[in-house]
Amino acid sequence: MADIPEHLLKRAQQARARLTGDEATGGGDSVAGADAGRESELVGAGAPVGGSSTGSSTAGAAASAAAGDKIPAHLLDRTTPVADRPQTEVAVPTATAPPAGSAGNTQRLLTVVKSGSIQDVKTLPSDKVHVWPHLLIVEFVAALAVTGFLLIFSIFVNAPLLELANFNETTNPSKAPWYFLGLQELLTMFHPMVAGVTIPGMGIFLLILAPYVDRNPHTAPDKRKFAIALMTIHLLFWATLVMIGSFFRGPGFNFVFPWEAGLFFDF
């Protein structure tokens, strides 16, 4: 039920007091005064008289006329029960709470929420591309180019093949192909297990872990100093071993200076 303002309750009490005084003085209109006082009390309390909205409106109009139209019409309308009021829908265009009004009003919150405030629908630029076709096409074209170059090179340049191997005569020095001379050079310095398994295995393992240790997202060389330094050290270490085995090893695989003993290496 609606909250009754304090000034209405006071006016209802004053009307009840006047009606009680009239009953005590007049005597003849006691029943009518009592009925009028009861109607005034019901109007002030916001209850329907006679059990219907028509009776309540008539009582409200009578009380308003008796009070000299001092009670505003909108306050009298608030005494009407909620069940007897016409149900209206109030559209609130904002997401804020509806203003505090009379209790029992049926209000519906209507609002329009943009999708951008709930989920991000913008497409952000990305530097990632798919493996197919961007990467695989480039690798396939590069493989075709290298294959064509080797085919043309093998037509015009003969491979440096030697004569058939003679087990009664061993070449001195006996050197492995240039891409294995690094391992052969390590065998002159360490135990075969260390030179052939441990050191190459650790180098390969470190190269495998490098992408997971260096999580730098940049692709520019000047911003990938750690990765470039690691690969440069690896290449310089292996290239140094290959060059020593190729140009600084003579008969018996002994260390020599090429400008003194000559060059013991065939391309």
| Residue 108, phi then psi, degrees to nearest 5 | -120, 130
Q: What pLDDT is stored for residue 86 in this prediction? A: 66
- Mean pLDDT over the full length of the chain: 74
How sure is the predictor about 125, in pLDDT bands with cuts at 50, 70 and 90? Answer: low
Q: What pLDDT is stored for residue 207 in this prediction? A: 84
Q: What pLDDT is stored for residue 46 in this prediction? A: 46
Q: How many CB atoms lie within 10 A of CB 178?
A: 14
Tens digit of each residue's pLDDT (9 = 90 or more) over 39-83: 555 444 444 444 444 444 444 445 444 544 567 777 777 777 666
The answer to whether the CB of 42 falls within 8 A of the CB of 9 is no
The answer to whether the CB of 64 falls within 8 A of the CB of 43 is no
Average pLDDT over residues 29-38: 48
Lowest mean pLDDT among 18-32, 95-109, 114-128: 95-109
pLDDT greater than 70 at residue 113:
no
Tens digit of each residue's pLDDT (9 = 90 or more) over 165-185: 788 888 888 888 888 889 999
Three-state DSSP class for residue 244:
helix
The answer to whether the CB of 53 falls within 8 A of the CB of 71 is no
Torsion of CA 33, 39, 44, 49, to 10 degrees: 170
Q: How many CB atoms lie within 10 A of CB 32?
A: 13
pLDDT greater than 70 at residue 29:
no
Tens digit of each residue's pLDDT (9 = 90 or more) over 195-223: 999 999 998 898 888 888 888 888 888 88
Average pLDDT over residues 82-86: 66
Q: How many CB atoms lie within 10 A of CB 71?
A: 20
Average pLDDT over residues 102-122: 58
The answer to whether the CB of 43 falls within 8 A of the CB of 60 is yes
Tally of residues, the chain:
267
User: Is the pTM above the cut of 0.75?
Assistant: no
**Structural domains for the chain:** 6-84 (no CATH), 131-161 (no CATH), 168-261 (1.10.287)
CA atoms of 267 and 264, how far apart (whole Å): 10
209 vs 91 pLDDT, higher one:
209
Residue 68: closest CA among 2, 11, 9: 11
Residue 241: closest CA among 191, 201, 189, 203: 189
Q: What pLDDT is stored for residue 158 in this prediction? A: 82
Average pLDDT over residues 106-133: 65
CA atoms of 124 and 140, how far apart (whole Å): 30
41 vs 234 pLDDT, higher one:
234
The answer to whether the CB of 160 falls within 8 A of the CB of 177 is no
From start to end of 52-129, where are the E strands? none
Residue 58: closest CA among 82, 74, 42: 42
pLDDT greater than 80 at residue 135:
yes
Three-state DSSP class for residue 146:
helix
CA atoms of 234 and 199, how far apart (whole Å): 12
Extract the tokens encoding 98.
Answer: 């509806």
Q: What pLDDT is stored for residue 48 in this prediction? A: 44
- Tokens 């997971």, residue located: 212
Q: What pLDDT is stored for residue 43 in this prediction? A: 46
